[in-house]
Structure 1
Amino acid sequence: PLLMEDLEAEAFLADKAYDTNELLDMLKEADITAVIPPVKSRKEQRAYSHELYRARHVIKIVFDALKHWRGIATRYAKLTVSFIAAIHVRCLFLYLPVHTT
């Protein structure tokens, strides 16, 4: 709940582990669309955007790739600016095609 305070977003993407009534109520109160597949044990299965949920996979892959870069995973940078710059550089390497000859 503390992380949800003052959250500004159009949608909240999460997996089934986050399918709780408390979180869904908080998102509804904040007027944020919940893109969370319902657990099978729910009596009433909620509808959610399957297309938007697929975007979660791309986000997860990017975070996984960032964690595998040692400089980011161990936070070598002393300054926040340097740390953010390292993330930007790594994202460029992930985004741009690299051709080796």
Structure 2
Amino acid sequence: MGRSRGGLTSKIHALVDAEGRPVALKITPGQAHDGRSATDMLGGLGEGQVLLGDRAYDSDALRARMSEQGAWANVKPMPNRKQVLAFSPFLYKYRNLVERFFSKIKHFRAVATRYDKDPDNFLASVKLAAVRVWMRTL
């Protein structure tokens, strides 16, 4: 999907709920920046919800958008950030739910090895794996 020195690569972006179940999924080229590609996925966050993100999502624009929607962005600040904003290490510990979701979907061979070269077909494989994750929790 995206070309880099390592070859054709892609990234899976996921927004998960408090149980680790996927709410929104997206595929982007491997060289695309995480923060810019997440803006269209965050429309579902509303009043009183918390976004837990890693350092790639640390931007003033993302924090402003979350405050407009009534949500709070608990994003680990970049080490070179001049103005350090509010951050809760206690809440940040729950970000492992996203990492555990990725671990679960990579048990599916079609997702782990990326058999599908077409981005739409690969996203369909990721969504099928996500449905299996949902079914396990119900």
Q: Quick one: percent identity of the two aligned structures?
A: 24
5+ residue gaps, structure 2, are 1-38, 117-123
Q: Following TM superposition, by how much is the alpha carbon of 1:43 offset from its aligned partner in structure 2, in angstroms?
A: 1.1
Q: Pick the aligned partner of 2:59 from 20, 27, 43.
A: 20
Q: Following TM superposition, by how much is the alpha carbon of 1:85 offset from its aligned partner in structure 2, in angstroms?
A: 5.0
Matched position secondary structure for 1:54: helix
**Aligned AA (1:86):** R
Matched position secondary structure for 2:51: strand
Q: Following TM superposition, by how much is the alpha carbon of 1:18 offset from its aligned partner in structure 2, in angstroms?
A: 0.5
Q: Which moved more, 1:62-71 or 1:23-32?
A: 62-71
Q: TM-score, normalised by structure 1?
A: 0.66
Q: Does 1:87 align with 2:124?
A: no
Counterparts of 1:20-99 in structure 2, within 5 Å, are 20-70=59-109, 73=111, 83=128, 86-89=132-135, 91=136
Larger relative helix fraction: 1
Structure showing greater radius of gyration is: 1
Q: TM-score, normalised by structure 2?
A: 0.50
- The count of aligned residue pairs is 86
Displacement over 4 Å in runs of 4+: none
